[in-house]
Homo-oligomer: A and B are copies of this chain.
Amino acid sequence: MTSRNTSATRRKWYIGVLGQHAPEEPVLALAYRIGKGIAERGGVLLCGGLGGVMEAACRGAKEAGGITIGILPGSSPDDANPFVDFAIATGLGEARNFIIVSASSALIACGGQAGTLSEIALALRLGKILAGVRTWKIEDHRGKKDFFPSFESAEEAVEYVFSRLQGAK
């Protein structure tokens, strides 16, 4: 009797990358390095599958030999950016954000507009591991602010989420 030796049987971490369609250049550079870092550590990159932060992160992951999955709002896989390996065309519009968060083991938010903030909040709501890099700051009505750690570099954010996933922290 032999062990199964398929890619399906290895433990996988799904790391969601959150960010907007059309950010400024420094945010894109961060996203690229986040994607690269995720792939280098063997994580599967999940994202919204479109342009901007999503595309930069996917490009980084592919250049490091990783796997990328795009959870699209529309109904055609052709909407995905060219660095998406597998496109899930949900047909759910903006409600697809919920799936990205639900399906991720941990998430990294980078820059972002309101859509990204909604994903950050859903990640907190669902108790996911979450790191931010140059993203939203939030404060609740009692003045509490420390909902998730914020980092200056992509590498620190990637290091943080994998440490947490591996129980090292």
Contact = CB atoms under 8 A, between A and B. Distances in A.
Interface string A125-142: 110000000111111110
Interface of A: 4, 6-9, 12, 14, 27, 44, 58, 62, 67-69, 71, 75, 77, 82-95, 98-99, 102-103, 105, 111-115, 117-118, 120-122, 124-126, 134-141, 147
Contact of A58 (B8, B44, B114, B125): B8
A33 to B, nearest CB: 16
A126 B94 contact: yes
A98 B121 CA distance: 13
A88 B69 contact: yes
B118 A125 contact: yes
A69 B89 CA distance: 13
Given A4-B82, A86-B44, A94 B91 contact: yes
Contacts of A137: 138-139
A88 B72 CA distance: 13
29 contacts: A6-B62, A8-B82, A9-B82, A12-B77, A12-B86, A14-B87, A44-B86, A67-B86, A69-B86, A77-B105, A86-B86, A88-B103, A89-B102, A90-B102, A90-B103, A91-B93, A91-B126, A92-B93, A92-B99, A92-B102, A94-B98, A94-B122, A94-B126, A111-B141, A114-B122, A117-B121, A117-B138, A134-B141, A137-B139
A123 to B, nearest CB: 8
